[in-house]
């Protein structure tokens, strides 16, 4: 039997290694705490694996370079935090409209503004979904452990390539900087998805066609398929249009392609939910504490279960709604003032009482804080 590959990795290091394993061959970024180790690691790893690393002059240019590299056929990544994530929003919107695959890592910290650069936060959840103006497709994943960071980085690239959409990896400082023993999957154990390439003649290619699947093949620039890329609403050829029917059709397809494949995109993790009468719904590093709290509650005879939203966007409406119908209370701990709680209330507030547990001082929510709330409602 082949011995497993075991390493001591931080979340940021795991993200960098997983990006290489997923086929990432381009990184553009600008150093910012607490994500800088991702760039540092990739500055070594990419040249050794046939890739390119470039430190840009700012976050706006970094996102633009990532889009350009992806259009040229390379799986591309950028990593940032708080203020840098804000600067990237216009170009993330461009990538959404032009349907350019790319992965954006946001290692969250406390805010607003420069906020708490070295402390954890989870306050970029709604920004990840609505930071860009206009209705646009987005996928966001939130790991709770270093191994989850590795797996979800690979998954982020796969989803981006399959659906031609920007994918955000919403880590937080605790996950990015803590070190854990990780059993790293071997290359043959990793499922890697590459974007579909066109097979027909270049003159018949429609980069934004209305197909039965809502998805379109994507060639690399220089492969003989010439097409127009713009942030303006465009027709099937990629050229801007003012035709009302085509505008409506394209924008609905743009957003529908994520909703349509929700079953493939949405992922949750459950712990002791089968007989739960009090539920916890959370994500990221806070889910680690919640797992401990579920076990501690059970020892006290309290029927508590956990639903971890591994996929934050699209929000796991169906799973949270079903959980809400099962329990009397849904406790929602998060290191912000209640961003995920808003979504939980939207989908499950008619069936279960929503109980918030919030912290915004740069410290993680403790098991005692969660347990005290559970005891109050039990």
State whether 39 and 140 are in the same domain. Answer: yes
Hey, is 154 helix, strand or coil? Answer: helix
Mean pLDDT of 263-276: 97
pLDDT score of 166: 98
State whether 241 and 158 are in the same domain. Answer: no
Q: 178-212 pLDDT, tens per residue?
A: 999 999 999 999 999 999 999 999 999 999 999 99
**Residue range of the domain that includes 16:** 5-189
Q: Token pair for residue 271? A: 């712990």
State whether 46 and 179 are in the same domain. Answer: yes
CATH number of the domain to which 355 belongs:
3.40.50.920
**Is 284 within the bounds of a domain?**
yes
Residue 75's pLDDT band, with cuts at 50, 70 and 90, is: very high
Strands (E), the chain: 5-10, 24-29, 52-55, 75-80, 102-110, 116-120, 139-141, 166-172, 179-184, 268-271, 278-282, 304-309, 311-313, 329-334, 353-358
Hey, is 25 helix, strand or coil? Answer: strand
Q: Are 67 and 94 in contact (CB under 8 A)?
A: yes
pTM of the model: 0.96
Q: Are 285 and 174 in contact (CB under 8 A)?
A: yes
SS3 per residue for 187-254: HHHCCCCCCCCCCCCHHHCCCCCCCCCCCCCCCCCCCCCCCCCCCCCECCCCCECCCHHHHHHHHHHH
Mean pLDDT of 131-141: 96
Q: What are phi and psi of 46, to 5 degrees?
A: -65, -50
* Cα 143 to Cα 314: distance, rounded to the nearest angstrom: 15
State whether 255 and 273 are in the same domain. Answer: no
* Cα 7 to Cα 15: distance, rounded to the nearest angstrom: 13
Return mean pLDDT, the chain.
Answer: 96
| Percentage of residues in the chain having pLDDT higher than 70 | 99
Among 189, 222, 240, the domain boundary falls at 189
State whether 31 and 177 are in the same domain. Answer: yes
State whether 11 and 104 are in the same domain. Answer: yes
Among 189, 212, 243, the domain boundary falls at 189
Which run of H or of E encompasses 90?
Answer: helix 82-98
Q: Would the pLDDT of 1 be above 70? A: no
pLDDT score of 58: 96
pLDDT score of 3: 75
**Is 197 within the bounds of a domain?**
no
State whether 96 and 214 are in the same domain. Answer: no
Among 221, 247, 263, the domain boundary falls at 263
Q: Would the pLDDT of 2 be above 80? A: no
Q: 12-44 pLDDT, tens per residue?
A: 999 999 999 999 999 999 999 999 999 999 999
Q: Would the pLDDT of 359 be above 90? A: yes
Which run of H or of E encompasses 115?
Answer: none
Q: Token pair for residue 126? A: 């709604």
Q: Are 43 and 53 in contact (CB under 8 A)?
A: yes
State whether 80 and 34 are in the same domain. Answer: yes
State whether 53 and 121 are in the same domain. Answer: yes
Contacts of 17 (CB under 8 A, 6+ apart): 9, 41, 45, 150, 184
Question: Which of 103, 92, 78 minimizes the C-alpha distance to 160?
Answer: 103
**Is 236 within the bounds of a domain?**
yes
Q: Are 63 and 57 in contact (CB under 8 A)?
A: no
Mean pLDDT of 88-104: 98
State whether 39 and 108 are in the same domain. Answer: yes
Longest dimension (CA), the chain: 69
Contacts of 176 (CB under 8 A, 6+ apart): 10, 11, 12, 15, 34, 35, 37, 107, 149
**Is 242 within the bounds of a domain?**
yes
**Is 358 within the bounds of a domain?**
yes
State whether 126 and 249 are in the same domain. Answer: no
State whether 35 and 158 are in the same domain. Answer: yes
Low-confidence winner among 2-6, 179-183, 325-329, 362-366 (lowest mean pLDDT): 2-6
Q: Would the pLDDT of 4 be above 90? A: no
Residue 48's pLDDT band, with cuts at 50, 70 and 90, is: very high
| Percentage of residues in the chain having pLDDT higher than 90 | 97
Q: How many independent structural domains does the chain possess? A: 3
CATH number of the domain to which 131 belongs:
3.40.50.970
**Is 128 within the bounds of a domain?**
yes
Contacts of 317 (CB under 8 A, 6+ apart): 347
């Amino acid at each position: 039997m082949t011995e497993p590959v075991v390493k001591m990795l931080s979340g940021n290091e795991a993200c960098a290694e997983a990006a290489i394993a997923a086929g990432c061959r381009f990184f553009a970024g600008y150093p910012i705490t607490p994500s800088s180790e991702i760039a540092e690691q990739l500055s070594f790893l990419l040249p050794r694996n046939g890739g390119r690393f470039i430190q840009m002059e700012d976050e706006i240019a970094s996102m633009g370079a990532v889009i350009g590299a992806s259009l040229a056929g390379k799986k591309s990544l950028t990593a940032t935090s708080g203020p840098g994530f804000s600067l990237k929003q216009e170009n993330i919107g461009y990538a959404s409209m032009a349907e350019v695959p790319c992965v954006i890592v946001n290692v969250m910290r406390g805010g607003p503004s420069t906020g708490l650069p070295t402390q954890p936060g989870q306050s970029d959840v709604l920004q990840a979904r609505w930071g860009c103006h206009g209705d646009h497709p987005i996928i966001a994943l939130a790991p709770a452990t270093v191994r989850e960071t590795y797996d979800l980085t690979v998954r982020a690239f796969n989803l981006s390539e399959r659906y031609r959409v920007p994918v955000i990896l919403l880590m937080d400082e605790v996950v990015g900087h803590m070190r854990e023993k990780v059993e790293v999957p071997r290359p043959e154990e990793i499922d890697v998805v590459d974007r579909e390439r066109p097979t027909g003649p270049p003159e018949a290619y429609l980069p934004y066609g209305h197909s039965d699947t809502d998805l379109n093949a994507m060639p690399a620039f220089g492969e003989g398929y010439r097409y127009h890329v713009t942030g303006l609403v465009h027709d099937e050829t990629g050229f801007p249009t003012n035709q009302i029917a085509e505008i409506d059709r394209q924008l609905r397809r743009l957003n529908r392609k994520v909703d349509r494949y929700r079953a493939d995109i949405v992922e949750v993790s459950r712990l002791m939910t089968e007989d739960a009468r009090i539920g916890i719904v959370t994500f990221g590093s806070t889910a680690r504490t919640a797992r401990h709290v579920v076990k501690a509650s059970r020892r006290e005879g309290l029927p508590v279960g956990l639903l971890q939203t591994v996929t934050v966007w699209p929000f796991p409406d169906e799973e949270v709604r079903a959980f809400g119908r099962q329990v009397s209370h849904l406790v929602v701990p998060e290191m912000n003032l209640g961003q995920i709680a808003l979504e939980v209330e939207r989908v499950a507030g008619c069936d279960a009482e929503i109980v918030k547990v919030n912290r915004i001082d740069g410290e993680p929510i403790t098991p005692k804080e969660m347990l005290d709330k559970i005891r109050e409602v039990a």
